[in-house]
Amino acid sequence: MAALHTLWMGLVLLGVLGVLQTRVQAQASLQPNFQQDKFLGRWFTSGLASNSSWFREKKSALSMCTSVVAPATDGGLNLTTTFLRRDQCETRTLLLRPAETPGCYSYTSPHWGSTHDVRVVETNYEEYALLYTAGTRGLGQDFHMATLYSRTQTPRAEVKEKFTTFAKTRGFTEDAIVFLPKTDKCVEEHS
């Protein structure tokens, strides 16, 4: 009877742990004690990995873009990205609403109506940041994306390695990971 009880307890515990493990794996981790004020300012998008069909088609044509991160009035972030498109500099602003935990944000695309969860997985604020985005409930298919932000246009090899490792743990294959080539165009001088 005691043996049966132990077996049963064991199975229950295994079951609980199994559930916990799947939850942990489903969500990317988060920078502990995230400090939003230190995350502000200019970043270069120097690495990307995504399984969206848009990315698969365009990845070889992409070049590095600049994002300026500013605080938004609701406590979230105003992300202004400048990039080169058909030889012209274009600017897009994304407003990231704050989510329950510092470092987590949500973004609703006004165009597609899709909701994206954006989280800062790891950053040292001064050199790099690893971001993870999961897009859900869109018109198209769900997608996920890993982004490498770098304070300079030439991230160190160790930082690139960190990004590759991170993207692989999120399930991206080597061919889905790209480092964007540096460009002199569309780099804002001030800020």
Which of these, 94, 104, 113, lies nearest to 27 by C-alpha position? 104
Whole-angstrom distance, CA of residue 123 vs CA of residue 38: 10
Burial tier of 53 (Cβ tally within 10 Å: 0-12, 13-18, 19+): exposed
Choices 18-26, 45-53, 124-132, 150-158; region in contact with ligand NAG by CB under 6 A: 45-53
Choices 37-45, 96-104, 137-145, 174-182; region in contact with ligand NAG by CB under 6 A: 137-145
Choices 6-14, 58-66, 101-109, 135-143; region in contact with ligand NAG by CB under 6 A: 135-143
Residues 69-108 that bind ligand NAG (CB under 6 A): 70, 72, 78, 80, 93, 95
Residue 11 CB, shortest distance to ligand NAG, in Å, is 29
- Complex with ligand NAG: residue 131 or 159, whichever CB lies closer: 131
- Complex with ligand NAG: residue 33 or 175, whichever CB lies closer: 175
Backbone phi and psi for residue 18, each to the nearest 5 degrees, phi listed first: -55, -45
Whole-angstrom distance, CA of residue 91 vs CA of residue 191: 15
Question: Does 116 sit near ligand NAG (CB under 6 A)?
Answer: no
- Complex with ligand NAG: residue 127 or 187, whichever CB lies closer: 187
- Complex with ligand NAG: residue 13 or 70, whichever CB lies closer: 70
